[in-house]
Amino acid sequence: MVAVPKGALTKREKVREFALTLPGAVEEFPWGETVVKVNKKIFVFLGVDDGSCPPGVGVKLKDQAIHAHAMSSPGAEPSGYGLGKAGWVQIPLAEKGAPSAELLCDWVEESYRTIATKKLVAELDAR
């Protein structure tokens, strides 16, 4: 078991709840990991919640400035399995100075906009 600050789990839950409010978003559990998808494509990785790994969030950020900002977070790194080459960033939540839940939600929305169809993005913009 990994000791995790309560605030990190609270952030993870806020990010999860926000992601599930986006048009067409569904939660799935491939590989024992929590992900949120739109159109059968993942737009946010939320990791495992069994305490075996520190909590983190993985998002796809195409905008260079936003990507650079995310990469400047304590402990942030390009996502594994070659996903980092496509703009995916893994952001740990238990690190001192980790991004706020609000900023993480902004990045989740950015990731969603990269993955979702134009119709779903228009639906989001119409809210």
Residues 41-81 have pLDDT tens digits of 999 999 987 778 889 999 999 999 999 999 999 999 999 88
Torsion of CA 11, 24, 107, 56, to 10 degrees: 40
Structure pTM?
Answer: 0.92
> Looking at residue 7, what is its pLDDT?
80
CA dist., res. 115 & res. 49, Å (int): 24
Per-residue confidence (pLDDT) for residue 16, from 0 to 100: 97
8 or 60, which is more confident: 60
d(CA 17, CA 3) in angstroms, rounded, equals: 23
Span 12-41, pLDDT tens digits? 999 999 999 999 999 999 988 999 999 999
| pLDDT tier at 3, thresholds 50, 70, 90 | low
Judged by DSSP in three states, 43 sits in strand
Interatomic CA distance for residues 122 and 126, integer angstroms: 6
- Measured between alpha carbons, how far is 1 from 20 in angstroms, rounded to an integer? 27
Structure-token pair, residue 25? 């978003």
